Amino acid sequence: MGGARPLHPGLWLGVPALLCVLATVVFAAPIRVWGLQLPEPVFAMVPAFAWALIRPSILAPFALLALGLFLDMFWGGPTGLWGLSLLVAYATALAGRSMVTGQSQPVMWAWFAGVTAIAMAGGFLFSMLDSLAMPSLLAVFWQFLVTTLLFPFAHRLIDRFEDADVRFR
């Protein structure tokens, strides 16, 4: 009977969001090994991509907005910057949902990289408008690169919940 119940939003929205918050806090630890610091990937890109592919939802955009606001507060950036960037990524993934669903893993990885690039470009633009200065393209590229490496987590999330709700089979 367990499979017949509708999927609780806490499972596919709440838990991944909490894991993103935890990972972000862990990776903000002031650790430097041989002069190198930890990378700073945008973990929230994983749900932004996966939630759009799992299924359209009313709650997901607001969950992403909350995640983005947390990132802005915790990282000390302009309020709304990451909220808006993540929503742009979510909108892109939602618009291309029919093309992405069912594709092989490398193709989906390419899509994830593309969506991440759009989110970073949005962040670059919004940051430029907000601070009236141009962020370093190299720094943006490094963050894009380490964020793209998170695709296996997005793939796992999609695999786990894409067919989990009996109402959407």
Beta-bridge partner residues of 37: 32
Helix and strand totals (H; E) in the chain: 9, 2
Site for other proteins contains 105 (CB under 8 A): no
Site for other proteins contains 122 (CB under 8 A): no
Site for other proteins contains 130 (CB under 8 A): yes
Name the residue type at position 161: F
**Would you state the structure tokens that stand for residue 69, as one six-digit string?**
């606001």
Site for other proteins contains 79 (CB under 8 A): yes
Write the CB contacts of 109 (distance below 8 Å, at least 6 apart in sequence).
148, 151, 155
Of 43, 45, 54, 83, the one binding other proteins (CB under 8 A) is 83
Of 139, 145, 149, 166, the one binding other proteins (CB under 8 A) is 139
Phi, psi of 7 (to 5 degrees): -75, 130
Site for other proteins contains 64 (CB under 8 A): yes
98/31 Cα distance (integer angstroms): 42
Site for other proteins contains 159 (CB under 8 A): no
25 close to 74: Cβ distance less than 8 angstroms? yes
Site for other proteins contains 26 (CB under 8 A): yes
Site for other proteins contains 109 (CB under 8 A): no
Site for other proteins contains 49 (CB under 8 A): no
| CB of 33 or CB of 104, closer to other proteins | 33
Element (H, E) at 26: helix 15-27
Of 1, 4, 106, 136, the one binding other proteins (CB under 8 A) is 136
Chain residues binding other proteins by CB under 8 A are 25-26, 28-32, 37, 40, 42, 55-62, 64-65, 68-70, 72-84, 87-88, 90-91, 94, 123-124, 126-127, 130-136, 138-140, 142-143
